[in-house]
Amino acid sequence: MKPALVVGNWKMHGTRSEAVKLATGVLEASRRNLSVEVVLAPPFTALAAVSAALRCGAVRLAAQNLHWETEGAFTGEISVSMLRDLDCRYVIVGHSERRRLFGESDAIVAKKVGAALSAGLRPILCVGETLGERRRGRTNGVIARQLRVALKGLSKSAIEKLTFAYEPVWAIGTGKNATPEQIAAVHRFVRELLRRRAGLSARACRILYGGSVRPDNAAELAAQPEVDGVLVGGASLKVGAFASIVRSFGATAV
């Protein structure tokens, strides 16, 4: 059984010294929760410093983004080999902020997933619908499209290396949560798509929930059999809040 996975996505927050302080605090707090896999995704500028701070411990490193080319004239971009060089194990791909604010299409997300996998990085692939799409009854259609394009051409063994994060766009940074029923329905839908697409068994891949996860709702999420962990934004910026979320998942194994 894979352990529950709790990922902190720090987004565009923190200088190097702030990042190291936060990472060190999380590392200390996580020593008591060895049954949970804890991953931190600092901004690019803090990856090297956080990587060094995490060297002696079980907390793992993720990047928030990557470029799909191996190298070249791509001003401002970061390649997979640069991320591997910093001991990143995971990379977040297709976060709704990248899709919405930076124009990342499903096709670009697919290229990033492929590039990450070919270099041995594990993508955390984010999918999710907007409020308008949910109200129009398009939730499953949107998620099916995002997954179909992102997984195009991938083998079963490649897809098995992915982690999925269901992040309803309307729940991210808004304080609004999807209900346990809404989350379970989408997670089941994703598992069924993975079964049909690649013959994957229900527990082959972890499916995280993301969107306004906080200490006061983490226990309820951890109690959901469909939720294999969480992707945490705002609440990952405080050691106490993040550690409390990690603790909530401490008793669960998926």
Q: How many residues bind ligand PGA (CB under 6 A)?
A: 13
Determine whether 167 is an active site residue: yes
Residue 172 binds ligand PGA (CB under 6 A): yes
Tell me which residue has its CB nearest to ligand PGA: 233
For the chain, count helices (H), then strands (E).
Answer: 11, 8
Beta 36-41 vs 4-9: how paired, if at all?
parallel
d(CA 93, CA 106): 10
Q: Does 33 bind ligand PGA (CB under 6 A)?
A: no
Active site residue 187: no
Of the candidate spans 47-55, 135-143, 153-161, 165-173, the one that interacts with ligand PGA by CB under 6 A turns out to be: 165-173
Return the residue of 3, 6, 8, 9 that touches ligand PGA, per CB under 6 A: 9
Does 173 contact ligand PGA by CB under 6 A?
A: yes
Using rule CB under 6 A, residue 6 touches ligand PGA: no
| By CB under 6 A, residue 42 contacts ligand PGA | no
Distance (Å, whole) CA 232 – CA 58:
18
Out of 37, 67, 95, 187, the active site residue is 95
Distance CA(169)–CA(189), nearest Å, equals: 17
Question: Binding to ligand PGA by residue 14, rule CB under 6 A?
Answer: no
First to last CA, the chain: 6
- Give the count of beta carbons closer than 10 Å to the beta carbon of residue 48: 15
